[in-house]
A = this chain, B = another copy of it.
Amino acid sequence: MSIRSLPPSELVEAARSGNRRAIGRLLTLVERGGPTADAITDLTHPHIGSAHVVGITGAPGAGKSTLTGQLTRLLPERGLTPAVLAVDPSSPLSGGAILGDRVRMDGIAGEDVFIRSVATRGHAGGLALSVPGAVRVFDAVGFDPVIIETVGVGQVEVDVVGAADTAVVVVNPGWGDAVQANKAGLLEVADVFVINKADRAGANDTRRDLELMLELSHVSGQEDESGYRPPIIMTTATDGDGITEVWAAVQAHREHLDATGKLAARRAARLRYEVQSRVARIVETQIDDAISASVLDPNISPATHAATIAKQVTSS
């Protein structure tokens, strides 16, 4: 029987028993949105919670994909079954072709690793909905860890990685890279820092920059009250140097989350964010219908207009 004709419940069953085509199909349906995606969400949700969700982010060209690629080689040796969600549109992991990336990518890394590229545009609800949906599928069918690779430049993209169990931020040596990471909001969300291309000049300066900024955030009271402080790992991902240290740092962070009870808090926050995005998406249609032609009236500002509609849409 064709995978395509299976109802969601049987599809989830097939995926959970290891059928890779069923997993790919689930990911496609979830990304598409609508009632079928909601049914899959209902069916997979009870099975999540085992996977450690790792976000890897940084500027384009920082070496996120190379690092992720090295992890997908290291982790199966440790008996783990990683899945990768490549959100970065410029990621080599998601290929260089205009069409058919996702088809070409599914499963290329062999039986141990599942790589999926997520379209960054045009799907229902955007990244705030499509990423948690895909992570849920991976988690429910037994992949662990689930690695999300994204470019840490956009607002939503930083939010998505910040919502992972462990957020890894990759920077490169060179004046200003740490500063730019800070400006993009990456310092606030980082649990582990990686200085990749550490064989290049300026790696130690960048390390000092990062340490200084962490120190500053400590002074301003932003440091974790439990005393956790993001470690800084030096890597040369192209040679595999430092990759085991990166994974050790991720595991240490996970142990910290477990020991402090923060894992549940972080996951609850992630679910809240997802529910919020979903409600916003549902309510959006009603908002859309309520925006009248008077949007072009120069005497009704968007602030006034929005206040009126908000009253109209909500029951209070």
Contacts and interface: CB of A to CB of B under 8 A. Distances in A.
Residue from the set A126, A158, A314 with the largest chain B CB neighbour count within 10 Å: A314
A223 B303 CA distance: 34
B60 A153 contact: yes
A307 B288 contact: no
B291 A306 contact: no
Contacts of A279: 287, 290, 306, 309-310, 313
Contact of A184 (B89, B288, B291, B306): B89
A303 B136 CA distance: 12
A282 interface: yes
Contact of A155 (B42, B127, B301, B305): B127
A45 interface: yes
A16 to B, nearest CB: 15
Given A120-B185, A155-B127, A296-B267, A302 B274 contact: yes
Contacts of A154: 151, 153-157
Contacts of A309: 275, 279
Nearest to A311: B282
Q: Is the interface of A mostly helix, strand, loop or mixed?
A: helix
A298 interface: yes
Contacts of A280: 280, 283-284, 287
Residue from the set A132, A188, A281, A286 with the largest chain B CB neighbour count within 10 Å: A286
Interface in A49-103: 49, 59-60, 89-90, 94, 96-98
A222 interface: no
Given A45-B298, A120-B185, 10 more contacts: A42-B301, A45-B300, A45-B301, A60-B60, A98-B213, A268-B295, A271-B295, A279-B287, A279-B306, A282-B306
15 contacts: A45-B302, A59-B90, A89-B183, A94-B183, A98-B179, A120-B155, A120-B184, A120-B185, A121-B184, A268-B295, A275-B302, A275-B306, A278-B310, A279-B290, A280-B283
